Structure 1
Amino acid sequence: MDLIDRKIVAELQQDATLSVAQIAERVNLSPTPCWKRIQKLEQEGIILQRVALVAPERIGLGLTVFVAIEAADHSPAWRDSFAAAISSMPEVMEVYRMAGEVDYMLRIAVSGMAAFDTLYRRLTETVSLKNVTSHFSMERIKFTTAYPVDTTTR
């Protein structure tokens, strides 16, 4: 990615509703080459999708839970079973395989404690887990989906 590509990515991360003409103006490019660059960034898998960000509390999902999981098993079959289980749970927003004491870290969005308990029971009945530790968010202080892209150097 060159500097112009990075500027395009930075602009789209801030506002994906910008028109090609607006983006082109902001990155000092004419619209057609800008559109071609956006298409190329999408084809190369740099831009994965363009979405609307939603306030979870405004749609009834005001409780964020971070769940640390220690696996009972590390076999490929267990991992496949675990991946299938969490993929079927729309409340599970993010899943990371970790290094260190915790094997997996999940970010979950639910309406409240009862909804989390239902999800927890469903998860623990589906796959065998060694240890599950849940941390409940009291306040979201910073949230961004934009990765820091260097738009100042070549």
Structure 2
Amino acid sequence: MSELDPIDRSILRLLAADASLSLNDIAEKVGLTATPCWKRIKRMEEAGIIKGRVAVLDADKLGLPVSVFVSVETSDHSASWLGKFHEAVQNTPEIVGAWRMSGDVDYLLHVVVPDIAAYDSFYRKLIEMVPLRNVSSRFAMERMKEGALPI
């Protein structure tokens, strides 16, 4: 896809802030009519820039107030192990984010659970699914910022 112009970036900022905006609202805010605005959005979807549109949910109000950042180290970097780990990450709903890292930690997981007992259950399940060398958990005390990409 060619470089994003200022109108594309404005559309992306609007969608990132509120994906429920109507096409007409977005078009009006960026100074276009609906059809060219729709074409830009469609082009960015097809290019994979817009991967989807989601609702941002309140974890506390849904009974999932505990956020844990889990550092995972492994001594096995084989394709077989990676396949098992990838499957475990994809099939574990408590894991809401996962990254392969550089440095002394191999993977970083963002886990949400209702309480410490549920985290303990998650942890036991994780270490049964794949062999791990070291797991370190850090419990979030306060969410200070959550937002859109700086477009």
Segments of structure 2 that go 5 or more residues without pairing to the other structure are none
How far residue 2 of structure 1 moved from its aligned partner, in angstroms, is: 1.3
Name segments (4+ residues, structure 1) moved above 2 Å: none
Q: How far apart in 1 are the matches of 2:32 and 2:120?
A: 52
SS at match of 2:20: coil
Q: Which amino acid aligns with 2:149?
A: Y
Aligned to 2:90: 87
Aligned to 1:147: 149
Q: Which amino acid aligns with 2:124?
A: R
Cα shift readout 1:105-147 (whole Å, capped 9, x = no counterpart): 0000000001000110000011000000000011111111x11
Count, aligned residues: 148
Q: How far apart in 2 are the matches of 1:78 and 1:16?
A: 37
Segments of structure 1 that go 5 or more residues without pairing to the other structure are 150-154
Q: How far apart in 1 are the matches of 2:91 and 2:33?
A: 44
1:45 equivalent in alignment to 2:48: yes
Aligned to 1:152: none
TM-score for the superposition, normalised by structure 2: 0.96
Aligned to 1:23: 26
SS at match of 1:58: coil
Q: How far apart in 1 are the matches of 2:72 and 2:54?
A: 29
Q: Which amino acid aligns with 2:133?
A: K
How far residue 97 of structure 1 moved from its aligned partner, in angstroms, is: 0.2
How far residue 72 of structure 1 moved from its aligned partner, in angstroms, is: 2.5
